[in-house]
Structure 1
């Protein structure tokens, strides 16, 4: 019998190296903090050095011996990703957590440096291409993992393969949900391709459920929650949780040897709150044909193919 997973007593991972994109704030920060507590080297991928420095200071204030580093990383600039990975001063990478994301609430539609819609281009295409460039370091690890953090919101969305860039019909919240759905399709399709090729690298998809700032413990200066915010958020705790708990599925996907790539790791209670557990991948998330078509479109848009260098 395997030992029950305890989110507060994580297994040691000394000697391993993990990269967390967007590790300077939100769920990415708490993912990095929890992984740093295992003794691993944790690299925070961030385009903002000042915010990354603040996050590292916060982590070290709680874990004095934490080995945390910063990698300058801009997922909205595809041409910069190879040089960013070249600057990653490690021979092997045991896991990358694709967490960083852009969420816009209002028009107008914005684009990346490459001319892609900003949310789709950053959240999906940036991570798609990043995986390609990280492949040699992932392959060098005995059993590396690519962990893609999706969203509960993606379950209610459907991709429009004829308008991936939302040029014909741009609605910010829907475009965000579709970008997260594209990430999840990527994670599942990558796993299918890796398994078919017999690769030792595992691709795992997670989502954090409902994660609110008002239910998130303070980590100054990264996040400060006032007493009023905490009190106002208490009723919501019946349904959702804070971002510290929202990080649990991704952390388990990195560390637990029992995790499988054909599962969706998410909070236990209605997929919104609670400890992480595996859900069966079903409905539109299991549509391999749509995932394959998205893969081909993403390859054309990025000039990258993450599965090939990983197999």
Structure 2
């Protein structure tokens, strides 16, 4: 006599335009007032979650929250002042959130400089490395008690496709000996991605309920991004000029999709793949809906990640490794 296996409900395919509800959760998006961070915030707001935009500019944060409320009626969105270039200010951010738990933080904010001269933060760190990597390293440390208070929180680190061709110089992390802006930017984002990978290792070793997920947005251009006045306005000329690029690249609204999936999709937490995977656009890692992909070979190097971690701890004076379970 044959037996019938129990009926199971497979997870539905991920749909970037039909997100699951998250009405009881709280998310923080660094740099949520502009670019990809704005669209991450807008899309997460549509789930019913409370979304907090971390921004160093109150006026721009206010404009972004109003733009989101226009697009998402009833959105529970607000802002908190966040300056990643000022390490001494970051301890206060957790208290300023005014919550007893945090379900996810999207480490998205970043500085990209195109031309010399080399610039530094007030703490004396090269501006892009200090903001994009060290600021997020320190912020995560201060947020860890709130993240650990949630049932299954996520730290989502938004890297960059520009990091794929870069390698860290562990003896010149601050680009003092050889400063080239585009390379320094790529390396700062690579450092941020190494942080996300190493954080995941340490959280798993500690038995923490917090997960670390690494994503990148692919090729996301302003000229392919839909208007969200006053945050972003795309003119007709920009639309026409960007038409050829649309064959291989995308707008920042689509660039937000990997981070949004990393925040919301239960499949992201699958322990069988989490250690060796990241999330990226489907088509050559440059455009399309988000998919799980193997870590880049150099990003999976545990020796480099561990050395960067120790250097970051020394430079910031905080230790994200002291994670509660």
Q: TM-score range by the shorter chain?
A: over 0.9
**Where has structure 1 moved over 3 Å in runs of 4 or more?**
none
* Aligned pair partner of 2:247 in 217, 238, 241: 238
Going from structure 1 to structure 2, the CA distance change for 1:94 and 1:185 (only over 3 Å counts) comes to same
Q: Secondary structure at the match of 1:195?
A: helix
Instruction: Tell me by how many angstroms 1:84 deviates.
Output: 2.3
Instruction: Tell me by how many angstroms 1:309 deviates.
Output: 2.9
Partners of 1:3 and 1:88 lie apart in 2 by 33
Q: Secondary structure at the match of 2:288?
A: strand
Q: Deviations over 1:256-296 (max 9, x none)?
A: 01104321100000000000000011410110100000000
What TM-score does the superposition give when structure 2 sets the normalisation length? 0.95
Aligned equivalent of 2:33: 24
Aligned equivalent of 1:145: 154
Counterparts of 1:38-117 in structure 2 under 5 Å? 38-117=47-126
Instruction: Compare CA radii of gyration and give the structure with the larger one.
Output: 2
Q: Deviations over 1:49-101 (max 9, x none)?
A: 00000000000001110000111000000000012222111110000000000
Query: Is 1:269 the equivalent of 2:278?
Result: no
Partners of 2:149 and 2:78 lie apart in 1 by 20
What's the Cα RMSD here? 0.7
What TM-score does the superposition give when structure 1 sets the normalisation length? 0.99
Partners of 1:305 and 1:156 lie apart in 2 by 29
| Structure 1 range deviating more: 272-281 or 81-90 | 81-90
Query: Is 1:198 the equivalent of 2:207?
Result: yes
Unaligned runs of 5+ in 2: 1-9
Instruction: Tell me by how many angstroms 1:168 deviates.
Output: 0.5
Q: Is the CA contact 2:203–2:323 (under 8 Å) kept in the aligned structure 1?
A: no
Q: Is the CA contact 1:201–1:310 (under 8 Å) kept in the aligned structure 2?
A: no
Count of aligned positions: 311
